[in-house]
Amino acid sequence: MFKSLKADINAAMQNDPAARNKFEVWLTYSGVKALSAHRRANFFHRHGFKLLARIISQNAKRRTGIEIHPAATIAPGVFIDHGEGVVIGETAVVETGVVIYQGVTLGGTGKDKGKKRHPTVKEGSVISAGAKVLGGITVSNTVK
């Protein structure tokens, strides 16, 4: 978990010119806080404590404005900048080096169950503010 936190902080330092130091990023960046909470929720979700996982994720949503389903797969080193309104769905996959701006939705297109219904965002891609990426599609490496 600490390696993931370190990678997330480093991603913020690399991608945000306003980031002054790692301690400040750790204390104040809502994207880093949301990703840390997601990693805890994901741990509990994978170990069968799904209600506890949802409680953690909903608490993080209230604190940060970023909603990440506990089952979503998010690699270390993702940066969510000004994350208010970001929604990441249950079967979404976000790889290392992805930058997500405010108001982004990685969502599904309906009520299908049991299949890949949210996007996969490959390494190094940037999802700009307000983007709605829907369905089981793949956004290739380094796409903006």
- The label of the residue with tokens 């999802």 reads 127
pLDDT digits (tens, 9 = 90+) for 3-23: 999 999 999 999 999 999 999
Hey, what CATH class is 2-139 in? Answer: mainly beta
**pLDDT tens digits along 15-71:** 999 999 999 999 999 999 999 999 999 999 999 999 999 999 999 999 999 999 999
Strands of the sheet containing 67-68, edge to edge, are 67-68, 87-88, 105-107, 132-134
Residue 70, classified by CB atoms within 10 Å of its CB into exposed (0-12), middle (13-18) or buried (19+), is buried
- pLDDT tens across 66-89, in order? 999 999 999 999 999 998 999 999
Give me the chain's average pLDDT, please. 95
pTM of the predicted structure, to 2 decimals? 0.92
Whether 1 has a pLDDT exceeding 90, the answer reads no
Structure tokens at 88: 């990441």
**What residues have CB less than 8 Å from 69, skipping those under 6 apart?**
57, 88, 89, 90, 92
| The two structure tokens encoding residue 140 | 């290739």
pLDDT exceeds cutoff 90 at 124? yes
Residue 102: pLDDT band (50, 70, 90) is very high
SS3 of 10-79: the string is HHHHHHCCCCCCHHHHHHHCHHHHHHHHHHHHHHHHHCCCHHHHHHHHHHHHHHHCCEECCCCEECCCCE
User: Domain limits of the chain?
Assistant: 2-139
User: Helices in 91-138 by DSSP H: which ranges?
Assistant: none
73: Cβ–Cβ under 8 A, 6 or more apart, which residues? 42, 92, 93, 94
